Amino acid sequence: MTTETATLALAKQLIARASVTPDDQGCQELLAERLQKIGFTVEQLDFGQTKNIWARRGSGAPLLCFAGHTDVVPSGPEDKWTSPPFDPTEHDGRLYGRGAADMKSSIAAFVTACERFMAAHPDHAGSIALLITSDEEGDALDGTTKVVDVLKARGETIDYCIVGEPTAVDTLGDTVKNGRRGSLSGNLTVKGKQGHIAYPHLAENPVHKAAPALAELTAAEWDRGNAYFPPTGFQISNINGGTGATNVIPGELNVKFNFRFSTESDSDGLKRRVHEILDKHGLNYDLQWTLSGQPFLTEAGRLTEAAQAAVAEICGVHAELSTSGGTSDGRFIKAIARELIELGPVNATIHQIDENVELSALPKLSAVYERMLAELLV
């Protein structure tokens, strides 16, 4: 079987399994069988309803790890799809199906790259691992973060990690993520006193009280970013108060907001500054915080250079380093990984109806991963 047909065939097998998070639907069992045939030891590390595997071949350093997820988001209305979402379909030079781009094609490319690399370099240096979870698109509580805890407890570290998230913007290889911003959310309740709108002196309007503080929060400079990250941003996502009546002063105002923050800031410092601004304006409030992930960064170095060289050779494009976008499981893995990047297919249709990936991208992505293995482990 050629590189092209092997990667496509495995991607189709994975897409055909309706692994809506966190239900793996046997995807990891399929991967484990393939990996065991080429010398990997596969551990099943399940937590709650989440399936996880840690597959490793070799015991020496350096350790190169491919990381990804078999779970997908729900398909949405199936009658809106051109073809059934879990019936992988080829047309117009593309492979359609839920998970085609995010990220079953990457996982298929991981495996076929390893199969070819092992055949060509059975005595390669170091070790190779795959960390695969079924809880990336969901709560992400029992997936990669729990596996990282297990690995950390037994002293296992990763030298190079390649996460197969869809990172390309226009064409395969044009973007490599070498970091991600942190995400910190706040749920703010400003307390006032409800009353008749014609008698404001008998009430206390929390909207009026909060407005100057919110204006200051939205105008504040939190940091100036750096060579890899844009400045930290503060955004209000939801704001509501009142009973729905036009003649009632509300008793409370609820504001939900989020920071996407760079490595120039830390979550404790952001929290402290928010409280200082709210306190300065004399607000009576309650504020609950949720930290979804700390920012992480891999400085340009051996791994990014290997990725850019492989992309240039296989795809004929220059891979730009970027930290844009949302969060990924890289935020957990970076705790035990010296260098980590994300590199995968075009992300234009992820989570959408008719999610798809270019057929020609599958063998190229597998070849990029194989070339990186050769660069880092031979």
The pair of three-digit structure tokens given for residue 170, joined into one six-digit string: 């226009």
Neighbours of 315 (CB within 10 A): 19
Buried b (16+ CB within 10 A) or exposed e, 4-33: bebbbebbbbbbbbbbbbbbbbebbebbbe
AA identity, residue 292 = S
69 labeled part of a ligand binding site? yes
d(C-alpha 149, C-alpha 332), whole Å: 9
**pLDDT-derived band of residue 169, with 50, 70 and 90 as boundaries?**
very high
The CATH number of 182-293 is which of 2.40.30.10, 3.30.413.10, 1.10.390.10, 3.30.70.360?
3.30.70.360
| Range(s) of the chain covered by CATH 3.30.70.360 | 182-293
CB 185 within 8 A of CB 292: yes
Give the active site residue among 23, 24, 115, 136: 136
Q: Give 378's contacts (C-beta < 8 A, 6+ positions apart).
A: 121, 124, 125
Buried b (16+ CB within 10 A) or exposed e, 210-220: beebbeebeee
In this prediction, residue 221 has a pLDDT band, given cuts at 50, 70 and 90, of: very high
Q: Quick check: 151 and 336 in contact, CB under 8 A?
A: yes
* 257 close to 278: Cβ distance less than 8 angstroms: no
Residue 325 has pLDDT above 90, yes or no: no
- Cα distance between residue 132 and residue 302, in whole Å: 24
| Amino acid letter, 193 | K
Candidate list 71, 329, 342, 370, residue with the active-site label = 71
Q: What is the pLDDT of residues 15-46, one digit of tens each?
A: 999 999 999 999 999 999 999 999 999 999 99
Q: Is the pLDDT of residue 3 over 70?
A: no
Which strand (E) or helix (H) includes residue 52? strand 52-57
281-297 tens-digit pLDDT:
999 999 999 998 889 99
Q: What is the pLDDT of residue 2?
A: 61
Active site residue 136: yes
Domain 6-180+295-377 sits in CATH at 3.40.630.10
Cβ 200 vs Cβ 376: under 8 Å: no
CATH 3.40.630.10 residue ranges for the chain: 6-180+295-377
Amino acid at 31: L
Residue 344 sits at φ, ψ, to 5 deg, of -160, -165
> Is residue 286 a contact partner of residue 210, using CB atoms and an 8 Å limit?
no
Do 46 and 133 touch, CB atoms closer than 8 A? no
Residue with the bigger pLDDT between 43 and 2: it is 43
